[in-house]
Amino acid sequence: MRILQIASGDFFSSYGGGQVYVKNIVDTMIDAGIDVSIISFIHNGDTQKKKYKNHSIYEVPISIAEKDLEKIVTEIEPKVIHAHSYKHIICRLGTKLNIPVVVTSHHGGILCPAGARLDCKDNICHRQISHTNCLPCYLRTIRTGLKIWYPFMKHIPQKTYISLGNKLSHLPFIPFISPIGSAATHIENHINHWHEICKKANIMIAPCNEIATAMIENGLDKTKVRVIPHGVPLPDKKPAFPPIIDGKIKFYYVGRICHVKGIHILLEAFSKVINSAIELHLIGGAGNKNEEKYMSGLKNKYQKDKRIIWHGKLSPSQVYKETSNFHVSVTASIFLEAFGLNIAESLALGKPVLASRCGGAEMQIKDGVNGWLVKPNDADALAKKLTEIIQSPDIIKKYSSNCRAISLKDHCDVLIKLYYSLIN
């Protein structure tokens, strides 16, 4: 049985949880003796066929034509395709070539034209995708789009707006005008792509109930949905839980430093807690200019609080070494987090997790058992919970003994059974 894994971008990148997850399952399946091929998307260069652990990996440009992608898939001859990106194109090719396609919804972007299922007021979106509902959120992703342009653009009929976008697509890029004028076209295309996935995907994997519900409410046949939480590499040996000396509790976060991860909420909440003994360690970095600007602003704002320590990006071995000495993992995501890789990795290390109710957190954390759950985008609620934890330090070690995570092997066993069911 040959399985084709369509990587979530560059197969070798560790920028986001999706990239890390795909590489993890590929490595685990190869170890299990599964015949795996990979298509990886790179920014520059021509298509190249290489070897990864004696398995074929095709590095292709992100601008690859669909007919060229079809040639590669035909050459690979997979029995099942598992798509983590380019989902609507892969579903179309799977239908054309009569190959079953499994799609994993790694984040709300599979539905949301703006990418995060986060509305323009920073609340998790529960509305159906449409031009009217999505326009303000999409324009928000463009500088000045929401405050200056949306009051005018919302009055333009959808067909007229789409026509404007089509005309602009034939002109050279004009700052502000091109992205603002093309918003309706982008939203329409995104919705059409989603409908194509709904129709042509054989199975849709949702890592949490929240994203499964959102997809069903937006037209996906519920019989196609499988809620399967991700697995993570488990440490060979769970580190001993470090003692808490003189109330010095070390909180930490591992992941991207970006707005949707709610780092501004986390720092605001932490700054409200008056306790000189506690620490907050932030491990991770920015992946683009907007994230760099966001991170720089937060560093400047909270530079006087010496309890906050910025570590930057660290290798997996360095992350393990550093976090072994910490006590409580904190994630304050404000968007629909389909899983939460950092939560699973923390639980695997025996670290109780304080998290916002963002979808993936509720699948992994039982409030009052292995961690704590709070309302998203609420710095006061997070600060209150931080204070409660500080006042009852003995409970942290008790919760640590209840921390578990799904192993990659167990997770891949479920996927492999799913692949076989489609072949049979």
Report DSSP letters for 53-105, one per residue.
TTEEEEEEETT--HHHHHHHHHHH--SEEEESSSHHHHHHHHHHHT--EEEE-
State the CB neighbour count (10 A cutoff) for residue 302.
Answer: 18
SS3 at position 253 = strand
Q: Tell me the C-alpha distance between 359 and 249, whole Å.
A: 27
Task: Please tell me the predicted confidence (pLDDT) of residue 145.
Answer: 94
SS3 at position 106 = coil
Task: Please tell me the predicted confidence (pLDDT) of residue 274.
Answer: 93
E-only strand ranges, 242-357: 250-254, 279-283, 308-312, 328-331, 353-356
Closest CA to 251 of 353, 345, 321: 353
Task: Please tell me the predicted confidence (pLDDT) of residue 237.
Answer: 83
Run means of pLDDT, 10 residues per run, the chain, 424 residues: 94 81 95 96 91 96 95 97 97 98 95 94 95 96 93 96 95 93 97 98 97 97 97 90 94 96 98 96 93 97 97 91 96 95 95 97 97 97 98 95 96 97 91
Task: Please tell me the predicted confidence (pLDDT) of residue 75.
Answer: 97
Task: Please tell me the predicted confidence (pLDDT) of residue 19.
Answer: 84
Beta-bridge mates of residue 80 = 3
Q: Which two tokens stand for residue 395?
A: 């409970």
Residue holding tokens 């707006």? Answer: 161
Task: Please tell me the predicted confidence (pLDDT) of residue 316.
Answer: 85
Q: Which pairing describes strands 48-52 and 55-61: parallel, antiparallel, or unpaired?
A: antiparallel
Q: Which two tokens stand for residue 18?
A: 């999706």
Task: Please tell me the predicted confidence (pLDDT) of residue 381.
Answer: 98
Task: Please tell me the predicted confidence (pLDDT) of residue 256.
Answer: 93
Cα dihedral 295/84/107/267 (nearest 10): -20
Q: Which two tokens stand for residue 133?
A: 């509902």
Cβ atoms of 73 and 93 closer than 8 Å:
yes
Task: Please tell me the predicted confidence (pLDDT) of residue 259.
Answer: 96
Closest CA to 329 of 399, 379, 272: 399
